[in-house]
Structure 1
Amino acid sequence: MLQLSEPSYGSAIAIGLAGWFTYQYYLFTVNKAKVANIPTVGGDGFISSYISAWKFVFNGHRIVQEGYEKYNGRAFKIPTLMTGDRWLIVVSGKQMIEEVRKAPEDKLSFKEVGFELIQTDYVFGSKAARVDPYHIEVVRGPMTRGFPSRFADIKDEIVESFTDHMPAKPDEWTRIAVSDALLPIVARTSNRLFVGLPLCRDSEFLRIQKNLTIHVVTIANIINIVPTFMKSITGKLLSNFPKEHRLMQKFLKETVQERMDAEDERGRKYEGRPNDMISWLLDLVPAELRNLEDISLRILSLNFAAIHTTSITMTNVLFDLAARQEYMAPLREEVEQVIGEYGWSKESMGKLRKMDSFMKESSRLGGLSGLVVNRKAVNDFTFSDGTTVPKGFRVAVAGQAIHEDKENYKSADAFDGFRFLELRDGGHEYDNLRHQMVTLDSSFLFFGHGRAACPGRFFAVNEVKAMMAYMLLNYDFKLPNDSTEVPAGFYIMGGRSPSMSAPILIRKRTSKIQ
């Protein structure tokens, strides 16, 4: 029998590593050649690109800004740690943004980049997420049309959840961690619309919704940087999603089965049918997907999209307002006047024009990501200036840099809470519509752009307005030590998050408006 000596084992390992290194170098060379005509920000050598890619993890916003300033209106590329093409192509300028917006799904795909960034095949443990994404149309259609009639329920949940998670006294200041309080408030309020009472207040149900987004994003980032042959095993070892999905099915089993049975017996429009997300999903679900497993997956997906982005937006607005007390009185006066006259409704939220402006300005500067309108080229795509994004490469727009460009906004680096109110009063109906927070525009990309823009933005904006209106009526709030400095957020992979631990001080106040 042939016996391998210790040097033989070492030689085998060395040969294996050399082979892997050679293969990686080959892939790097081939992919770099495909985008050689696009300038690079950072290192573009085999080793130097890895160093720049690691820098991008925590300094991505600065790297994108550097590229924007050097190549404004053109494309540039950034090395990333993602396996595969490794290069992210970033564009700016109204012409290129418009071309990305108009690009068909079979050229620049929103769906494919979503699957890739979240690594759904491996995180979810199946290809279920790739099946007909009908829930997006549910949000765009039935939910957007249906939530106004549920505004009384939404307001009720806001009252109850603030009482539970932001308790305060009228005669003293109470210190709270904003993110710890807002996350359950947003989760409860959103799920009052999604699944209703009593499930929207169930602590274990809410735990899944609050924790799963952070878990999925973390695992997806890990899977994105491991070699392809290790992605499946990494997902199986690290992802809790399959277990939490099974638990979600237990929570929803009785409700979903009752709804399907009622439809089978009495028709889809039976009297007393609940007006919530479960019903809206059942309205549009393809027949082959009409089952508990799929409906629960869609509820998880909608919570994934809604809870953390809304809570981040609300946190940014709270910090910006707490640091700028001069806006408190005019915003509170507007809320008292509008709610006093029109009550709690979507109509009244639409009349909170100062609030809308303040929220939009907070989102312009606070944002969610320096890179927006992400797409993946499923076929070669060539811009009008001749720049080609090869098949398999990702492309994104330099969102935060556009928001802070003085060509787009006067005194762009300064916070002006009523900037968009003044723009809306420009004298034309177009100005009034264009400068609302929910309106899509090439110079305000908080919700993305084009057909793939956030379909839930109408509900999200109204939800944040309602929560902010309730806070203004029922609380005084400020930063500790009367600070006027907004707590510093943090950046990762080009995205921004407000501080997760920074506190505010709150004090209960009495309002005539309820």
Structure 2
Amino acid sequence: MLEFFQTGLLFLTASVVWTFVRLAKGISYPGDVPRFGEPGIFGYLKTAIRYTFDAETVISEGREKYSGKPFAVPTLSGPVFLLGPGYYEIIRSSTDDNFNQPLAVSEDLQLSYTMDPEQIKYPYHVTLLTTTVNRAIPSFIPEILDESTRAITETLGLMGPDGPESVSLPLFETMTHLVARINNRVIFGTELCRNEDFIHAIVRFAETTPLIATLVTWCPNIIRRPIYVALSSLLGGKRDVLKFIVPFLTKYMKERKKETLEVEAPIIMDFFIEGAPPHETVEGLAMHLININFGSIHTSSIFTTQTLFEMVSLPRKDLAAIREEIIVALESEGGWTKGALLKFRKLDSALREIGRFHGLMQFGLPRYALRGLNLPDDSKIPPGHRVALDMKAFHFDPDVYPDPHRCDLFRFSKLRESEETDTKYGFSTVDAHYLPFSGGRHACPGRFFAAMELKITLAHLLLNYDFALPPGVTQRPANTTFNGAIIPDPKAQMVFSRRKDAPPLTSQFMPYSTNEIPAQGK
């Protein structure tokens, strides 16, 4: 007991000393870029704590105080230099020799602990997503449709003569589990995606990794590993997921080598097995597949939840217009095809507006400055610090987005109609005014897959269900924020009910009758 107390006291002392040194560095950087907040170490700490729980207000106050010019935001991980729209092209077009994106990602997610160092050293998952996987997206549509239909029907439990008329569920939690199951249908196939214990483990990993990484970042290097081990044991870490994937991959690869598998169409796991470097281990391959799982679950569940929270307030005629467009697209293309999904313009517009209005973070294109940056006023951002773009300065610019503080789900579909373009304002299109998927050479490679999955899932929900806020709730739930991340209220409920006025023709676009699916997983 005495040794445990002494060890704990040593860790606490090291943390205090490390925090003091880090904060001292944060208030004494060279370059003359102003730092928002009160002066001194205690002023830095006060602002950093405010940022941790209310980043939007801190950044907004800094933007107003410095009239949109670059300024440093104190955080418990060190200062972050925020840049406005005028610096987009500099950051976007820079190489990693100057503004390094992998280092920023590695630090923010603490990949050496939460995943493994190979994610940065050999990022072949990025190459595979950009090439092989993206080319195969049309072939994934039947599997995504099949699994979304099954998963939604089982989760809501409303179909069939014995099902209830309606059900109230925590929306974010429900969407996270649905997305995890649907994702893994095309990553690992039906065996793992329908394993409830695996889905629970991968969801827990996706939900807790950002929190664990943040807490580890606040600690000195010397105690980061034991802190990670303790936190992952408590909150859920990679080991809980690897115990499912490693034996599954081992067995699958042996059968694949013996050519005893009967595979109708390759899934993402097959592309990774074929595209991994020769030295890759089974556990290393599993970690890269966990990495893409994390990214897709985290992003897609937030977009799905935010979209439904906004759609629930739409007038009935607007929801009807979205549904009608989906039906017309399916009829004209003969079912669920890539061509049909491209014609879901109103749904696509809703998703893009969610990315603009709510987003995922308070900042975009985070980078680690290796060489620094000279600014027009002769000040400079010193090397060895993080830089990022001020997301709201882009997304709420009234010169780009009229009435920017209104969430208009049809904003981009109206622009596409007026300018007669089908690509410029698409959900997965990145440009200088839309940052959720980053930009340049580091634009999110999985955004095309996410667009396909989100459209199918939301379209199925729209065609077959009505949804509403619980009785007595008149406004959409407010988002929660932590350390710059934006997350839908995890406790907020949504009431789903069977659509009594659903047009009969929608059933012909389902892969099978929903009566074949056992409700609530039975």
> Equivalent of 2:57, from 55, 59, 62?
62
Q: Closer, same or farther in 2 for the Cα pair 1:34/1:463, shift >3 Å? A: same
Alignment of structure 1 residues 381-420 onto 2, 5 Å: 381-383=373-375, 386-420=378-412
The structure-2 alpha-carbon separation of the partners of 1:325 and 1:36, relative to structure 1 and needing over 3 Å to count, comes to same
Shift of 1:477: 1.3
Aligned 1:165-204 pairs, distance under 5 A: 165-168=155-158, 172-204=165-197
Q: Judge conservation of contact 2:198–2:241 (CA < 8 Å) in 1.
A: no
Provide, for residues 169-204 of structure 1, a one-character-per-residue CA deviation record: whole Å limited to 9, x for no partner: 688332222123212211111111111122211112
- Equivalence for 2:519: none
In 1, the alpha carbon distance for the partners of 2:241 and 2:427 equals 34
> Where do 1:25-424 residues align within 5 Å?
28-82=23-77, 86-93=78-85, 95-124=86-115, 126-168=116-158, 172-240=165-233, 241-247=237-243, 248-260=245-257, 262=259, 272=263, 274-289=265-280, 291-326=281-316, 327-342=318-333, 343-383=335-375, 386-424=378-416
Shift, 1:319, TM fit: 0.7
Q: How far did residue 216 of structure 1 move?
A: 1.8
1:286 is displaced (CA, Å) by 1.2
d(CA) in 2 for partners of 1:199, 1:98: 42
Alpha-carbon displacement from aligned partner over 1:244-297 (angstroms, at most 9, x marks no partner): 2540312322113333554xx9xxxx99574111111123211111x3111111
8 Å Cα contact 2:326-2:343 kept in structure 1: no
User: Equivalent residue of 2:190, what SS?
Assistant: coil
CA distance, structure 2, for counterparts of residue 380 and residue 199 of structure 1: 46
Query: Does structure 2 conserve the Cα–Cα contact (< 8 Å) formed by 1:38 and 1:77?
Result: yes
Contact 1:256 1:278 in 2 (8 A): no
How far, CA to CA, are the matches of 1:63 and 1:221 in structure 2?
A: 18
Query: Do structure 1's residue 449 and structure 2's residue 442 form an aligned pair?
Result: no
Cα distance between partner residues in 2 of 1:81 and 1:496: 18
Match of 2:516 in 1: none
Which amino acid is 1:481 matched to?
P
Asked whether 1:499 is paired with 2:493, we answer no
Instruction: Give the whole-Å Cα distance in 2 for the aligned partners of 1:260 and 1:44.
Output: 64
Amino acid at match of 1:244: D
1:22 shift after superposition: 8.1
Q: Normalising by structure 2, what TM-score?
A: 0.87
Render the CA deviation track for 1:140-162: whole Å, top value 9, x for unaligned. 11111102112111100011001
Cα distance in structure 2, aligned partners of 1:109 and 1:361: 29
Structure 1 vs Structure 2: percent identity of aligned residues? 27
C-alpha distance after superposition, 1:433-491 (max 9, x if no partner) = 22111111121111112111211111111211111111111011122238552111111
Q: Which residue of 1 aligns with 2:517?
A: none
Q: TM-score, normalised by structure 1?
A: 0.88
Residue type matched to 2:348 in 1? Answer: D
Once the 2 structures are TM-superposed, how far is the Cα of residue 127 of structure 1 from its aligned partner? 2.6
How far residue 306 of structure 1 moved from its aligned partner, in angstroms, is: 0.6
Equivalent residues, number:
486
**Is residue 278–residue 295 contact of structure 1 (8 Å, CA) maintained in 2?**
no
Q: Which whole-Å CA distance do the structure 1 matches of 2:377 and 2:90 have between them?
A: 11
2-side partners of 1:237 and 1:205: how far apart?
Answer: 21
The residue that corresponds to 2:5 in the other structure is none
Query: Counterparts of 1:242 and 1:507 in 2: how far apart (Å)?
Result: 37
Q: 1:30 to 1:163 in 2, by over 3 A?
A: closer
Cα separation, 1, equivalents of 2:165 and 2:217: 48
For 2:231 and 2:319, how far apart are their aligned partners in 1? 45
1:226 Cα offset (Å): 1.3
Q: For residue 167 of structure 1, what is the amino acid of its counterpart? A: G
For the residues of structure 2 that align with 1:334 and 1:104, how far apart are their CA atoms?
Answer: 42
Measure the CA separation in 1 of the matches of 2:352 and 2:247: 39
In structure 2, C-alpha distance between the alignment counterparts of 1:261 and 1:75, rounded to whole Å? 59
Aligned partners of 1:78, 1:347: CA distance in 2, in Å? Answer: 45
Q: After superposition, give the CA deviation of every residue in 1:39-94 in whole Å (9 maximum; x if it has no partner).
A: 12212411110111111111111111222233355211011111xxx11101112x
Unmatched 5+ stretches in structure 2: 1-8, 510-522
1: CA distance, partners of 2:174 / 2:388: 33
